[in-house]
Amino acid sequence: MKRIEELMALSIELSETVGRTLPSVLKSLQMSKKYSHSAKALVGFIPKSGYLCNAILNTCITQDNYSSKILMRSLIEHVFIHLYIYTRTLKENSNEIGKKYYGSLKAKEDLDAMTKIGNYNKTAFPEKTVWSTKGTENKRIRDEADEFRIERIFFYLIGNTDTKSEIFQKYTRDYLLYRIEQYTNFSSTVHGGPYAESALAVEHAHKNKVLLELAEDAWLLHRNLVETTYLFASLLDDDASKSYEAIKAVGAQKT
């Protein structure tokens, strides 16, 4: 479809713009040691969301709306975590959420992997010794890491739309609700559930419309994530403002 091809071209243009401007943005971010972990996390989501966006656009081109939804669910979660780090860092004027991202969340991933693999091994070979991952410190790690669960992020963001504009508050809440409903509905596709199977059959008659909506969503989510990261840099250093404006200009008239 022509529009999806346009979105792929815009994604390439955005990637090239990031390639030209990111070095100066990183320089601006490095000027402030105060937000070092949060800044690193926000920048790290740029390539990750870009890979997902491009993959979604490719699956849309090949008429594969099933795989597109699996990838879209992951992209939505990436965007929620990114927005959570951005919001909490600025609201609390602190680097703590960035530290938790690289500290507790990483540690929980390691703990979960050890626990699950240990249990699998114990089931397959009962005579094997399995190391316990329980304990006060590990509980603290898990509790902190749970802050990054998408439902916890949703509740936090809904409760922290600090603005006097009722229209903006309503728009923000409607938007967040729409995205988490998307995420929830796409979960069945990730897990191979029956809801996804029935949805696939229902959508067959208007498949092109579904694919176009998925492609538009993927592009907007990725572009907005990049723009938000550059905005963060511009808040710390005026020199990053030109790079921020360059990102905003990509696809502005076609989006």
| pLDDT in the model for residue 132 | 74
Please give the Cα distance from 207 to 203 (Å, whole number): 5
Q: How many CB atoms lie within 10 A of CB 119?
A: 11
What is the span of the domain harbouring residue 172?
Answer: 2-94+150-249
197 found inside a domain: yes
Closest CA to 25 of 221, 231, 222: 231
201 found inside a domain: yes
Closest CA to 25 of 240, 235, 247: 240
Name the token pair of 114.
């050890």
Closest CA to 158 of 137, 145, 143, 174: 174
pLDDT band at 164 (very low <50, low <70, confident <90, very high): low
pLDDT in tens, 67-86: 999 999 999 999 999 999 99
> Average of pLDDT values for 151-178?
84
| pLDDT in the model for residue 255 | 52
| pLDDT in the model for residue 196 | 93
pLDDT band at 163 (very low <50, low <70, confident <90, very high): low
User: How many domains does one find in the chain?
Assistant: 1
Please give the Cα distance from 7 to 217 (Å, whole number): 10
26 found inside a domain: yes
| pLDDT in the model for residue 165 | 67
120 found inside a domain: no
| pLDDT in the model for residue 162 | 67
Is 96 in a helix, a strand, or coil?
A: helix
Q: At what angle do helices 207-236 and 65-92 cross, to 10 degrees?
A: 20
User: What is the chain's length?
Assistant: 255
105 found inside a domain: no
12 found inside a domain: yes
Contacting residues for 92 by C-beta, under 8 A, at least 6 apart: none
126 found inside a domain: no
Full-model pTM: 0.93
139 found inside a domain: no
pLDDT in tens, 74-123: 999 999 999 999 999 999 999 999 999 999 999 999 999 988 888 898 88
| pLDDT in the model for residue 10 | 97
pLDDT in tens, 179-209: 999 999 999 999 999 999 999 898 888 999 9
